[in-house]
Structure 1
């Protein structure tokens, strides 16, 4: 009859409970975070012009927008009325926060409240 026992010098305990140094754990988490990073899609000049026209028209009409925005790590939506529009610097404001026009991936209207 055989039994499994831990004997001095055995690796069984080490294999079942590994110790990770805090700096190694941090490096591992950073690497996992970087794996999720998305790259920015290319936007052609025609689409840039359409985005500009859409923003100008919805800003003038105070029409709420629903925009899908680029972010390296998560899906971001901007929903609301464009309060300010700065075409020279390529940015717009919704709910007091500035966003870059170059980050817009998808245009849409939001229902009026």
Structure 2
């Protein structure tokens, strides 16, 4: 059976018979993952160091990066090669735009 996603509610067609508690949990998890209008997540020191190292490697070796930034209004993904980093002022630059280092939530390098 091919499952297709229903439009709008984010549930699968084969899961129409869901308990309300399960539906609430799925919607809550999706909202947390999207980080829309949520609180800034608290990251541990190890995760912050790992993300900063990825940004530094992009600058040094011209690797492309994909950085998810905290924004209470929308999903913000910064993708490209880091051009500059100013750790004292707390920003990095991609594509001519500056982004606060403190707003990084997740960083990855393909």
Distance of 1:108 and 1:102 partners within structure 2: 16
Q: CA offset at residue 88 of structure 1?
A: 1.6
1:1-113 equivalence runs, <5 A: 37-109=37-109
How big is the alpha-carbon RMSD for the aligned residues of Structure 1 and Structure 2?
1.4
**Structure 1 portions without partners, runs of 5+:** 1-35
Q: CA offset at residue 58 of structure 1?
A: 1.4
Q: Is 2:93–2:99's contact at 8 Å kept on the other side of the alignment?
A: yes
- TM-score, with normalisation over the residues of structure 2? 0.62
1:81 is paired with a residue whose SS is: strand
Distance of 1:52 and 1:67 partners within structure 2: 10
1:46 is paired with a residue whose SS is: helix
Pairs aligned (count): 75
- TM-score, with normalisation over the residues of structure 1? 0.60
1:84 is paired with a residue whose SS is: strand
Distance of 1:87 and 1:76 partners within structure 2: 21
Distance of 1:52 and 1:40 partners within structure 2: 18
Distance of 1:44 and 1:108 partners within structure 2: 17
Q: CA offset at residue 51 of structure 1?
A: 1.6
Deviations 1:51-98 (Å, cap 9, x if unpaired)? 221111111001111111110011111011101011122210011111
